A and B are shown apart, each in its own frame.
Chain A
């Protein structure tokens, strides 16, 4: 912000202050979820100081959390565009199957990655066609796709899983899923976490500074206006589904890299935690606005709940109870950020 120059130093100071206020206001949804994560971690630390002052606790969360982050970032775009995609768990499964079967047969992992990305993008495109061109409800069509694709996986492999232990030591695995930044002993920040953060940064940039992200906002806010202003609404909508497919493929590749095993159920069980993270993070359900950073924070909140509940000395029976409690509490806090404006 540049002062108009007429008011001198005082004016500039005032505008700087209002700039901070503006920044807080514009990012209030992401800030709310970040604050919520911090408060939650403080609470867990008070409940079990031993566990929550050790690096390995955080590391254990950071091993699998990236898989959710690769999903939540594009899903923020989908929800902002006024759509929803419930097929991503099976897209994770099928695209990572493409990766794992190529590596298993001695293929180059890079070709496997490319194949997984193509499968993910193609499945996202199919979702887009079903919703945008054929006009099916996104909720129902992608839910149907989720069942259909999982069923397809089951028919394909008849329950068998595929292990690729040979990927350990391969350069691509070292780059993607080893610890490079060592924090304590021989343990460090898993590389997949760094990739997930880089992906989040890319998502934030795309969402706020690139014409694709800005058009996603406009389409979700008011599709008629967007069309009147010459935005290709259908193309934008299809692209968000393709983006989610690509995100799901990345999530699937990382899942296999982390576990060295692909199961026919890979991706299952991600549906609800990732969606919960998305909304807990501050993206509202109605479209037009959202926060990629908040989505990343929201999935982190969800990921820490289980660890926190167990570490606090409660049994696993309490996990779901706290999932629900924290989701509802955080949504109540987000509610203070205002409802939909028209």
Chain B
């Protein structure tokens, strides 16, 4: 894999974000290459969620640069992030529960003409197709159902359907397996393999190191708002090694025998 900077789909350079006195993200530089799965790990409060929300444009960074395909983008926001081909599947799924499945899939990026009039039938048909693709098995299979009628796994499916429809270059999965059944978790892993096979990139955030180890090509470990370790999977023979590094980081603030970033 080439290591040149301009290979990155998106790159953050020296990005900071603080809330009051808390430096949630404290000078992070970080990039994602095409076709790789990055496992983003770190303890609670390490800054994972803030970093993701900067990437997806929900939180504007206090300082630092955001570079999309080698070009710096200013006034970064959620709409620009989605336009740049980044789709985020948030931990809370980012759904509007009283709205229909169709409306949720196309939230913020409706299929519409230039007068803003929504192509309702197209959206309905696309939603129908996506739901089959994802493998909705529920009997109440109707894109016009409100999201509130769906199970946790099905809600996750709706959030993933967005990423599928918009054929994102980079999909950010924030704790995608939390509160999912084993079957649903397996579906998420199948989805990740699919995305990887199509040459798209993924950032996978997880608490479960075994899950992250299984899917990721590269690990980025955060601690107290900083990147404390970046390592390819080839240098980490087993998930237990990764867990050992994590424990050292928690105690020392950096990894003992891995190259600190």
Contacts and interface: CB of A to CB of B under 8 A. Distances in A.
A22 B144 contact: yes
B99 A288 contact: yes
Contacts of A340: 98
Interface residues of B, number: 34
A221 B108 CA distance: 13
A117 B16 CA distance: 45
Interface stretch (B65-73, B87-95, B176-184): B87-95
What size tier do the contact residues of chain A reach? 20 to 34
Contact of B95 (A26, A215, A225): A225
A230 B77 contact: yes
Tell me the interface secondary structure of chain B in the complex: loop
B116 A211 contact: yes
Contact of B58 (A209, A210, A211, A228): A228
A262 B116 CA distance: 37
Contacts of A164: none
Contacts of A218: 96, 99, 103, 107-108
Contacts of B57: 230
B78 A227 contact: yes
Nearest to B88: A228
Interface in A203-252: 209-212, 214-215, 217-218, 221-222, 224-232
B199 interface: no
B260 interface: no
Contacts of A228: 56, 58, 78, 88, 90, 94
A221 B94 contact: no
Contacts of B97: 221-222, 341-342
A225 B104 CA distance: 10
10 contacts: A211-B110, A217-B96, A217-B103, A225-B93, A226-B107, A228-B58, A229-B78, A230-B78, A341-B97, A341-B149
Interface of B: 56-58, 77-79, 81-82, 88, 90, 92-99, 103, 107-110, 112, 116-118, 120, 142, 144, 146, 148-149, 162
Interface of A: 22, 26, 209-212, 214-215, 217-218, 221-222, 224-232, 288-289, 340-342
